[in-house]
Amino acid sequence: MSLEPIPPATSSATTSSKLIADMRETMEDYDGVGLAAPQVHRPVRLVILVQSKQELVLINPVITLLTDRVVRSFEGRLSVPGMRAAVDRAQKVRVQALNERGEALDFIAENFNAIVVQHECDHLDATLYIDRCDTKTLAFPQQLPQVRPL
C-alpha cells in the first residue's frame, strides 16, 4: 500500500478498465463493500464501493462533511484480518467524483454508506482506520458482536 498521499493529478477518467475489473474481483473475493486502488498497490485515486446495493466507481473522489453528527462503527481491513476498532465518522457526506466513463457523480451518503466511503477514501490519503480509531476499543472479532470488515 502507498504510504504517501496520492496527488489528484495522478488519476484521470481514462483509468484502466483492467484495473477496475481486477479491483471488482478482489472486492468480491473478500466479500468487501469497498476497495481503494492503493490497497492493490496502484497509486491512483480510485475507489470501488457498494452503496445501497449499487456498485460505484469513484475516480478522484472529494468528500465534504455535511454534519457534525458522527456515527461509530467497528472497522477493520480486509488485508489485515482479525482486528477491529471503533471509529467515529461523519453521519452524512457529499461525494463528488468521476465514474469509469468520465461522467461527474455528485451524491449524498449517510450512515453506513457514509462510513464506507470515508473509510475507503482515507486509503487515498494514506490514512487507515487505526489512525482514526479509539485505541481503547481495539479488539479481535471474537470479542465483538458480529461485524463485517470495511
Q: With contact defined as beta carbons under 8 Å apart, do 93 and 71 qualify?
A: no
Cα 2 to chain centroid distance, Å, stands at: 14
Q: Are strands 70-77 and 80-90 parallel, antiparallel or unpaired?
A: antiparallel
Q: What are phi and psi for residue 130, nearest 5 degrees?
A: -65, -25
SS3 of residue 123 by DSSP: helix
Please indicate whether residue 120 is annotated as part of the active site. yes
Q: Which conformational region is residue 59 in: left (phi greater than 0), alpha (psi within -120 to 50 degrees), or beta?
A: beta
Name the catalytic one among 4, 25, 28, 120.
120
**Catalytic residue ranges:** 120
